[in-house]
Every structure is written in structure tokens, then in C-alpha cells.
Amino acid sequence: MNLKVKKTTVPDLGFSNHMAREVLDGLLQTPKRILPKYFYDQIGSALFDTITKLDEYYIPRVEQEIFEQYKNQMCEEIGASRTIVEPGAGSCEKVKWLLPELEPANYVPMDISGSHLRQNAANLRRDYPDLNVAPLVFDHTNGLDLDQSLPGRDCIFFYPGSSIGNFEPETVVGFLRKLRLSMGSEGGLLIGVDTKKRNDILHAAYNDRKGVTAAFNINVLNHLNELFEGNLNPEAFEHLAFYNEEHGRIEMHLRCIEDHTAILAGMRVDFRAGEWVNTEYSYKYHPDEFSDLARRAGLHMKRLWQDESKHFSVMYFTPLINDVTDSF
């Protein structure tokens, strides 16, 4: 079922903080929404690292198997001495799947959680002392104006883990277009994309027995409280996640269990018992579906690698020949 979004305009309360207005806009609309990038404070980042090790969460395990099997082919496509840019790098662990064979000239990890990123970048420098690691505390979901930040041109974007699934399909096209415009004519994109599969497999991945995903979901409220001097009550919400087959996506929500009012960044936010607050969509794509979106953004799928069960895809895209970059 599609719900019509009703928005309440946030008055001008003197906030210079873009994030505060962004969060309040989401919480004052109907249905309420919190963008998934706010999961990732230090605690949230650590919880997500734990999620990636859970038995039910197949994505990193299957993706790593693909990299281990086809790493040499991937490195051959990319070429040596390239600048590798990883938006949302988090723990910086996945780039190690390509090292040392890839031999990049530069590695630029980006993440919204600065302390987590800097620590992991330092660990990577220790393990690979010959690699130039240049971390950027950066919210890649708000744009990619990177000309002044990236060493060299024709960079390779590395976007593993199916993070692209958090974007609405139309937003995917816009995001990929920004990558296309930033990568140069000889650049590329190596990306992980989760596939459509049985409902029970998907459901278990987002409803683990240990409750780590539930803790990760609810912790977003603690992060917002810290950012915006709020008093959102995590105990007034429960975790809810399910697969929406009609839209081809996992939906993750916080379900309110009692009527209450909270203050965030000086604004009153009312919650009703039974109300859902959306925190994440995770879209799943057949390879041809995702390739069609990428083509609209000016990218051509050059290679596709999948596991035997086709539970996950790793794709390598290059700029389309004769792409009109200002036509989007």
C-alpha cells in the first residue's frame, strides 16, 4: 500500500544546522521518517559491524565469497595505480578484499561518522603502510562536489554492501549520475547490489535472533538526542522489519507503543501509539533492473559477478560512450 505523505512545514526557528531541519522535516510529516544515514554514530557503526557478522545477515558473507572468487578479474578491469573512492566506507574492511593485488595510488574512504572513520583509516595505514589513505568526513548522500578533495582524476568509485538499496529507484539514477560526472571519462564504479530472493531469507536477515538489528534500529533515537539535545524515548518504540514484495524492498520502521511527546532541537514532536516511523528502505534488484537504472545515469555495465545461488551481485560500470552529461 502506498501512503500519501502529508508534510508540516518547519517554521524558521533560527536553526543554521541543516541536519536539524532535515530530521524535523522527516518527523513532522505523515508518515514520519528518519533517514538511514542517522544510524551511524559511533555506537550505531559498531552495531552495524556486528550485524555483518551475524549468521542471518547473508550479504557480507556472500559478497566476500564473490570477491574472493573473482578478485583478479575485478582488479584487471580496474587497473593499477588508480584513485579508489569509497562513499560510506565505515570500517574500511571491504577494500582489503582487493588489496594488495589492486595496488591503488590513493584510497579515499568517506563516512558521516568522523571518529569511526579516522580510527579505521589509521588502522588501514598500519596494515598497508605503502597505501596513501586520505579519509574524508563527508555525507555523500547530499552531493559529490569532490573536485577539490580527490587526488587526481578518473577515479574508481567503490560502493559495496548494497548500500545503494537505501535509495529510492529514482534517487539511484541521480546518485549514479553524480558518480558518473565525478569519475572522469576513464573512471568506473564497482558496486554491490542485493538481489530479489525468497521472503524468508530476507526476513531473517533483518530480524536476527540476537536482536542486534533491533538495537541498531532503535539506537538512531539516541543519536538524534545527542545531535539535537532531544529527549526521544527509545523504550517507547519497537523494531519492525519486513519485505514489501510489491515494491521489491525491505522496510524497516520504529513502531510507537504508547502516545507521547518529545522535544528535539527545541521542537515538539507528537507520537501516537501504533504509529510507524520509517528508518530504512533496502531495495533489491535483478541485475537487468539495476543495469537499466545505471544506463539512465550514463553508465554501462561492463562486468557482472554473482554467487552460485545468485543471492548477490557485484557489478562494474564504466561511462557510456557519447553520453551527454548535461542531459540528466
Could you list the pLDDT tens digit for every one of the 328 residues in the chain?
343 434 444 444 444 488 899 999 999 999 999 999 899 888 998 999 899 999 999 999 999 999 999 999 999 999 999 999 999 888 899 999 999 999 999 999 998 777 888 999 999 999 999 999 999 887 777 666 555 455 555 899 999 999 999 999 999 999 999 999 889 889 999 999 999 999 999 999 999 999 999 999 999 999 999 999 999 999 999 999 999 999 999 999 999 999 999 999 999 999 999 999 999 999 999 999 999 999 999 999 999 999 999 999 999 999 998 765 544 4
300: Cα within 13 Å, side-chain hemisphere: 10
Q: For residue 287, count other CB atoms closer than 10 A to its CB.
A: 15
Contact 241, 250 (CB under 8 A): yes
| Confidence (pLDDT) at 323 | 63
132 forms beta bridges with 106
Backbone phi, psi, residue 249, to 5°: -150, 145
| Confidence (pLDDT) at 12 | 42
Type of residue at 324? V
Domains with residue ranges and CATH for the chain: 23-54+200-283 (no CATH), 59-197+286-319 (3.40.50.150)
| Confidence (pLDDT) at 26 | 97
As a whole number of Å, the end-to-end CA separation of the chain is: 30
| Confidence (pLDDT) at 77 | 96
Type of residue at 301? M
| Confidence (pLDDT) at 252 | 98
Type of residue at 185? S
106-111 and 83-86 strand pairing: parallel
Sequence-distant (≥ 6) Cβ neighbours of residue 290 within 8 angstroms: 164, 193, 313, 315
Q: Round to whole Å and give the CA distance between 15 and 265.
A: 8
Type of residue at 143? G
Q: Round to whole Å and give the CA distance between 257 and 275.
A: 8
Q: Considering only CA atoms, which of 299, 81, 38 is closest in space to residue 191?
A: 299
| Confidence (pLDDT) at 144 | 64
| Confidence (pLDDT) at 7 | 43
Q: Round to whole Å and give the CA distance between 40 and 114.
A: 10
Q: For residue 103, count other CB atoms closer than 10 A to its CB.
A: 15
Contact 79, 316 (CB under 8 A): no
Sequence-distant (≥ 6) Cβ neighbours of residue 123 within 8 angstroms: 92
Sequence-distant (≥ 6) Cβ neighbours of residue 326 within 8 angstroms: none
DSSP 26-53: HHTSBSEE--GGGG-SHHHHHHHHHHTT
